[in-house]
Structure 1
């Protein structure tokens, strides 16, 4: 029954009550999948830094681990995971999604990797590949240093340790939805929150954006809406190039062809430090390759597992 048929029930009421898994059929249709969906459930692990929540996909032992970018959540991987067809764990980073917020608001790769180590030891100790985008990519890189037993292969999506320097020179238009992080926090209703997001990504599909905002929003007691992530601050990630120097596992760097977060000089530095790195450019994809081209990313992931 739709809210229009129920006196006193608003669209915002309906959206706030929507199950987080109710939209998966839309994800499947968007990439041309039919048939039964794989089982997916929300799980959590309590750590010294608070609860870490995650989505467990499939019935088998997880082969893939996914770490999202700053201001995102585990559902950003829904379509890509469906396209791979493999059992996986997608984590809500600390301060994001359904994971706990930290009192010190330290959501940097160094602290994230320490926090996630016991989580992945419990949820995905034998995963073949850790995939991370943006902040999640840098967290995955750091994870290879502090918990090498959890990272047999590494895939970083549209990020290098030089991302802060590069982002500081970008316009708001080129930054896309990343401009939302650090921007307006509270909106009077879901519609205004959604339209605010659309304005930051005018070329993106509205239905796809709507799913993303629904997963990334929560309703406050007064009826207004806010983001599911804590306030984030920037940092200098350049020291993480030292972790690149220590990499001894198969590593892939995926670059959005329409993104400016990774430049030619960043790629050249990666090649100097890690000559065996596999560079994949996904044409017409922006910073969030998993959102813009989930089928292409899924194929790159499958290639990495067999390469």
Structure 2
């Protein structure tokens, strides 16, 4: 199946809100005492009608590639990439950001890996340091297992096989409401669920992850909201195969770093199990929630910089 550029038939056609998507980079760089990166958005035509969108930071071919989690987009990595200070590629997974929705709702790690492999081949200088958060981490596992020639180092951000369902069950109630009167209405909803942290800091993420319909209604930009929600008729997401993900991780021979949030999805037991299974690899716990990259971006950037090809 291909991608649907708009919501499935019968759903309101939407258009992005009028906003420069890079408008926040100047403030982020100032707050982080770093240079404002050069960045451009590019599109990659895949097989058939498939299209993938991504942000390319810097002028040289990236050797750091970032893959976001479910319900997020490439901009979740902005602060980390600013701190990194190196050319980088941040991908919008299918159904997220500016990458159109799949009409088969297949956002499984194995299927996502097909698109990420093509993105690395097209935009990056392989082998790369591949960084994946949540669903993006499970996707990155399959990329590294399937194409070890493309990956020199894998960083998993607050995810291990068997954890993917935790986020889905936690977010389902949040996505029962899909339409909002304004960005402030979305913020009120997010704050009521304890998501997004401080209100004004969460505003940036909400603006970059929503779009405004022709009738003025604001809705989420990503498909996951509709397929996680019991209030929408969209197909349920393709189930994640935990055993397959675990086998893929076990097969990876390149170094793997686990970066866990102290109040994220991974229990201390799961982190210890990873360390025992891969004693030659590193497991780091940061004082952060599940979206480590949005609060502990400097520490994450330091780890990624150390993993870049030629830095070890």
TM-score where L is the length of structure 1: 0.85
Q: 1:145 aligns to what?
A: 145
Q: Out of 254, 258, 278, which is 1:253 matched to?
A: 258
What is the alpha-carbon distance in structure 2 between the residues aligned to residue 166 and residue 299 of structure 1? 28
Q: 1:290 aligns to what?
A: 293
Question: Which has the higher mean CA deviation after the structures are superposed, 210-219 or 273-282?
Answer: 273-282
**Where does 1:142-221 land on structure 2 (aligned, <5 Å)?**
142-164=142-164, 166=166, 175=170, 178=171, 182-201=175-194, 204-221=197-214
* Relative contact order, higher structure (CA 8 A, sep 6+): 2
Asked if 1:19 is matched to 2:17, the reply is no
CA deviations over 1:264-294 (Å, ceiling 9, x no partner) = 23223323432222101112x0000000111
What is the alpha-carbon distance in structure 2 between the residues aligned to residue 183 and residue 243 of structure 1? 33
What is the alpha-carbon distance in structure 2 between the residues aligned to residue 180 and residue 24 of structure 1? 32
Q: 2:240 aligns to what?
A: 235
1:39, CA displacement in angstroms?
A: 1.0
1:116, CA displacement in angstroms?
A: 2.1
What is the alpha-carbon distance in structure 1 between the residues aligned to residue 103 and residue 179 of structure 2? 20
Asked if 1:268 is matched to 2:272, the reply is yes
| Deviating 4+ runs (over 6 angstroms) | none
1:303, CA displacement in angstroms?
A: 2.6
Q: Per residue, is there more strand in 1 or in 2?
A: 2
TM-score where L is the length of structure 2: 0.84
Change in Cα spacing, 1:202 to 1:235, as seen in structure 2 (3 Å) is closer
Q: Contact 1:164–1:235 (CA<8 Å) still a contact in 2?
A: yes
Q: 2:50 aligns to what?
A: 50
Question: Which has the higher mean CA deviation after the structures are superposed, 271-280 or 137-146?
Answer: 271-280
